[in-house]
Structure 1
Amino acid sequence: MNELQARARELSDRISDLLVRLDIARDEARVAELEQQTFAPGFWDDAAAARKVMQELAARRDRVETWRGLERRAREAGELLELAAAEDDEQTAEEVRHELDAIEAELRRLEFQLQLSGPYDMRNAILAVHAGAGGTDSQDWAEMLLRMYLRWAERKGFETEILDLTEGEEAGIKSATIEVRGPYAYGYLKSERGVHRLVRLSPFNSAATRQTSFAKVEVMPEVDEVGEIEINPDDLKIDVFRSSGAGGQNVQKNSTAVRITHIPTGIVVTCQNERSQAQNKESAMKVLEARLLELELNRQEEEKARLKGEHVDVSFGSQVRNYVLHPYKLVKDLRTGYETTDTTAVLDGEIDPFIEAYLRSQVGQEVA
């Protein structure tokens, strides 16, 4: 019983320390301030500004409720233990032991989440997958990666939307761009950017020879602040064309697909998944803003590295992970060394261990 009481006090002390360090009291004051704003006349007249306020309110309220709830659970567990000790109630003590296990597991999860402290980590993410050289095999690999990320997002409770998808001639996809919406979507997914390499027996070769395929993954934080990225309309070249399916066949009679070229940087984005030209243009602009923000983040990282006399690879074109399905099964991250032989689970979206290993490896380093 004394051991349990000491453990309950230690958990309460850890939580109390974090409440101070995280300044949860400030969040509570901000929640009250934002709630008052929502009651103001004309609050919804500016939909964009109102949406921004509501997003901040939801995020801060969730943060306060999460930490205060954990604090309350630890306090109540301690009080129950005192009663159990006074009455020598072993059954209650055992129930509290299970509750302390649950509190500690939740605390570890939240402490890990604190590693997602970058300025953009809380935001939604724009993720793009591009097939590398290698024809149908690489295009099939790109589609496998896309499915992996969609399944991962589903497991995390994130919302996803395919903004653009270009199918391969025979199978798979040439490229796809998706939006992943949810708290810390970018913070988690930023670990995935880079080149992913697959080794397997080719299902598209009659000789079933071993094939190595590559696909590149890009991850960008979504722009969610008005004026954060300013784009001069004169810097844009906008083309419209008919959406196409596999093999280049047109699937729309009207020109609803949109291609936007940002002339100063040469960045080109396309969107053809929506039914209307206006919707496709809106989605394409969202991706363009994210790419321009990522470009600026890369520039800042290069400048920091230059001042420190260091080299930094911000192209995200380096190989980050190997997926071997033949002659043995192994998925290994080349940056952290984390590996698993359960390739089926990984390709079905169970990539959290890889993400967590990467984030832990970045503790103490400045990352976007």
Structure 2
Amino acid sequence: MMSERQSLESAIDTVRTLEAGINDNVELIELGEAEGDDEIVSEAEKALVELKGTAARMRVETLLSGEADANDCYVEVHSGAGGTESQDWAQMLFRMYTRWAERRGFKVETIEYSAGEEAGIKGATILVKGHNAYGWLKTESGVHRLVRISPYDSQARRHTSFSSVWVYPVIDDSIDIDVNESDVRIDTYRASGAGGQHVNTTDSAVRITHIPTGIVVQCQNERSQHKNRAQAWDMLRARLYELELQKREEAASAEAASKTEIGWGHQIRSYVLQPYQLVKDLRTQVESTSPSDVLDGALDPFMEASLAQRLGADKDENEE
């Protein structure tokens, strides 16, 4: 109840702030024109343009009314074929989503982190906590393609690398997901990465495999195997719930197919650093000529376009 109240208060405050900003700047323009002060008019017009952008983002956010859109979410990143180059790309994506979440004021926790042999990561999972975290991130699931001059190639040749991203919502106690224990396999292993002597000398990390679906979840962020096991069970239930949500969507089959292989023909977005600089979403055709900004977390234009496209498709389907 408190969470819902805070969400409503925040939305109402944002609308009131927007209305006040519009009224104040319209009055400033009228005053500036009456007094012949072009500087006041110019500043007020710039402020109105910024408010227009804020209103556009608010419009998209008001449409985040899916069953789990308001929930926290897990973001998994996995490197594709390509060894060190692909693992470095996976780490770049891991950083990109972490920075995006921090820009929005969301909290980020690293749940699982598997370092690469030489550089980068084989895979990692973060928990993003914040209102509408899943709603914003859900369209990021898919394969991401990088083209650049590889820093790991002594001949400085251009390489193409692929990594996959998988987003699924955290579910609360009000959603009951029944998992038959005979359908899962639980493995324990020694965690890798930071954590000190204890992490590296005890089998505290936990991996759970759901045999019927092939879903695998891992957790190693806690020192206690018991806590990691509980977290992994929560992640598995969340993955199974997300699977059920996708089954209800018309695009479920296409999205599932896009995750069967991390490679050509399955990517949702391309990031080109050489021979030119361009980030292009292959679903919405939204582009950015500043990959450095995008990789530093400037993802909102891509997310907004993907959400608008999906919501538009849902609206058309409902009208039919």
Q: Give yes or no for TM over 0.5.
A: yes
In structure 2, the CA distance between the partners of 1:227 and 1:186, relative to structure 1 (3 Å rule), is: closer
| CA distance in structure 2 between the partners assigned to 1:326 and 1:76 by the alignment | 46
Which residue does 1:292 correspond to in 2? 240
5 Å matches for 1:305-344?
A: 312-317=254-259, 318-344=266-292
Structure 1: runs of 5 or more not aligned: 1-52
Q: Which residue of 279, 304, 311 maps to 1:356?
A: 304
Q: SS of the residue aligned with 2:203? A: coil
| CA distance in structure 2 between the partners assigned to 1:76 and 1:322 by the alignment | 42
In structure 2, the CA distance between the partners of 1:103 and 1:138, relative to structure 1 (3 Å rule), is: closer
* Normalised TM-score (structure 1): 0.72
1:242–1:250 Cα contact (<8 Å) kept: no
| CA distance in structure 2 between the partners assigned to 1:245 and 1:98 by the alignment | 48
**Structure 1 residue 141 displacement after superposition:** 0.6
Larger Rg: 1 or 2? 1
Which residue does 1:163 correspond to in 2? 111
Is 1:151 matched up with 2:99? yes
5 Å matches for 1:1-368?
A: 53-70=1-18, 104-245=52-193, 251-301=199-249, 304=250, 312-317=254-259, 318-366=266-314
2:94–2:124 Cα contact (<8 Å) kept: yes
| CA distance in structure 2 between the partners assigned to 1:153 and 1:355 by the alignment | 13
| CA distance in structure 1 between the partners assigned to 2:47 and 2:144 by the alignment | 41
| CA distance in structure 2 between the partners assigned to 1:182 and 1:98 by the alignment | 30
In structure 2, the CA distance between the partners of 1:305 and 1:174, relative to structure 1 (3 Å rule), is: closer
Question: In structure 1, what residue type is equivalent to 2:127?
Answer: E
In structure 2, the CA distance between the partners of 1:243 and 1:142, relative to structure 1 (3 Å rule), is: same
| CA distance in structure 2 between the partners assigned to 1:75 and 1:209 by the alignment | 56
Greater RCO (CA < 8 Å, at least 6 residues apart): 2
RMSD between aligned residues: 3.1
**Structure 1 residue 97 displacement after superposition:** 6.9
**Structure 1 residue 72 displacement after superposition:** 6.1
**Structure 1 residue 255 displacement after superposition:** 1.7
| CA distance in structure 2 between the partners assigned to 1:196 and 1:97 by the alignment | 38
Structure 1 range deviating more: 68-77 or 120-129: 68-77
| CA distance in structure 1 between the partners assigned to 2:92 and 2:46 by the alignment | 40
Deviations 1:225-259 (A, max 9, x none): 4333222344433232221349xx99522221111
| CA distance in structure 2 between the partners assigned to 1:341 and 1:273 by the alignment | 37
Which residue does 1:8 correspond to in 2? none
In structure 2, the CA distance between the partners of 1:193 and 1:228, relative to structure 1 (3 Å rule), is: same
**Structure 1 residue 74 displacement after superposition:** 6.0
| CA distance in structure 2 between the partners assigned to 1:54 and 1:125 by the alignment | 20
* Normalised TM-score (structure 2): 0.82
Which residue does 1:35 correspond to in 2? none
1:218–1:316 Cα contact (<8 Å) kept: no
Q: How many residue pairs align between the two structures?
A: 302
| CA distance in structure 2 between the partners assigned to 1:73 and 1:213 by the alignment | 45
| CA distance in structure 1 between the partners assigned to 2:112 and 2:267 by the alignment | 24
Structure 2: runs of 5 or more not aligned: 260-265, 316-320
In structure 2, the CA distance between the partners of 1:244 and 1:120, relative to structure 1 (3 Å rule), is: same
Q: SS of the residue aligned with 1:212? A: strand
Q: Name the % identity.
A: 49
| CA distance in structure 2 between the partners assigned to 1:281 and 1:151 by the alignment | 28
**Structure 1 residue 147 displacement after superposition:** 0.7
